[in-house]
Amino acid sequence: MAEIEVGRNILEANQTLAEALRKRFAAQGIKVLNLISSPGAGKTSVLEQTLRRLGGRLRCAVIEGDIQTDEDAQRVAACGVPAVQIQTQGACHLDGPMIGEALDALELEGLELLIIENVGNLVCPVDFDLGEDMKVAVLSVTEGDDKPSKYPALFRAAGVLLVNKIDLLPYIDCDLERIHATCRTLNPQQKVFDISCRTGEGLGDWVTWLESWVRG
């Protein structure tokens, strides 16, 4: 009987691939965002609004992750942006190999911004690095102001938080300040934008910030 020291990260296979993707993106000058939220928080609406407001000022492409259907890729393509749909067939998150495969279907030359919309899930996607520069969390106010404290991993890891559906605040019991305070505690460096994809409120600030981040 022998004890064998191992000391290996269980997710090392994904991590190694993600690091290779990150190098590849950096070499081509592409900034990459990993968009994460629960189902229905408005990730695809945020994408549509963001792409429309960018109005072609940045060369963008999108990778869409869903368990089934290509509806989201169609919505993005309608904004005039190349989109590849990954159907995970049940898997609760995207991983490095899926992104590597999706890249084969995209023209990366000249691209400035790649946005990956993860599978709607507040838990699992956080553990799987996709080679992104930054995670962006979307939280809609209708989900409740307790979500950042109940699901802290995403809100700790996200460089940007978009608090969506703020046009509904008058009709629901959601304390926006509690969301802000919890997220400040979890990640003091996080950039927060309160937005509404229906009224357009806050989207201008977000898109201005995004544009300078990509060029910066």
Partner 1 sequence: MHELSIAQSLLGIVLQEAGRHGANRVTKVAVKIGALASVVPSSLTFSFDLIKEGTPAADAVLEIERVPAMGICRACGARMDMSGLVEACPDCGSKEIELSSGQELYVDHIEAE
Q: Specify the length of the chain in residues.
A: 216
Of the residues 31, 93, 147, 165, which one makes contact with partner 1 according to CB under 8 A: 93
Applying CB under 8 A, among 5, 104, 109, 177 the residue interacting with partner 1 is 5
On whether the CB atoms of residues 183 and 155 are closer than 8 A, the answer is yes
**CA nearest 122: which of 204, 38, 181?**
38
> Quick one: which of 148, 123, 178, 163 has its CA closest to 41?
163
Query: Cα separation of 186 and 25, whole Å?
Result: 28
**Interaction mask 49-78, partner 1, x per CB under 8 A:** ------------------------------
Q: Count residues binding partner 1 (CB under 8 A).
A: 30
DSSP of 124-184: GGGGS--S-SEEEEEEEGGG-TTHHHHSHHHHHH-SEEEEE-GGGGGGS---HHHHHHHHH
- Binder among 52, 53, 87, 91 for partner 1 (CB under 8 A): 91
- Which of 74, 185, 199, 208: binder of partner 1 (CB under 8 A)? 185
Which residue in 106, 152, 167, 201 binds partner 1 (CB under 8 A)? 152
Which one of 108, 134, 153, 169 is in contact with partner 1 (CB under 8 A)? 153
Cα separation, 163 vs 46, whole angstroms: 10
Cβ nearer to partner 1, comparing 32 with 126: 126
CB of 152 to partner 1, least distance (A): 7
Question: What contacts 17, CB < 8 A, 6 or more positions away?
Answer: 96, 97, 100, 131
Please tell me whether residue 6 binds partner 1 under the rule CB under 8 A. Answer: yes
The answer to the question of residue 11 lying near partner 1 (CB under 8 A) is yes
The CB density around residue 157, as the number of other CB atoms within 10 Å, is 18
Question: Which range of residues in 25-33, 106-114, 150-158, 159-167 is near partner 1 by CB under 8 A?
Answer: 150-158
Q: Which residues bind partner 1 (CB under 8 A)?
A: 1-14, 91-93, 121, 123-124, 126-127, 149, 152-153, 156, 182, 185-186, 188
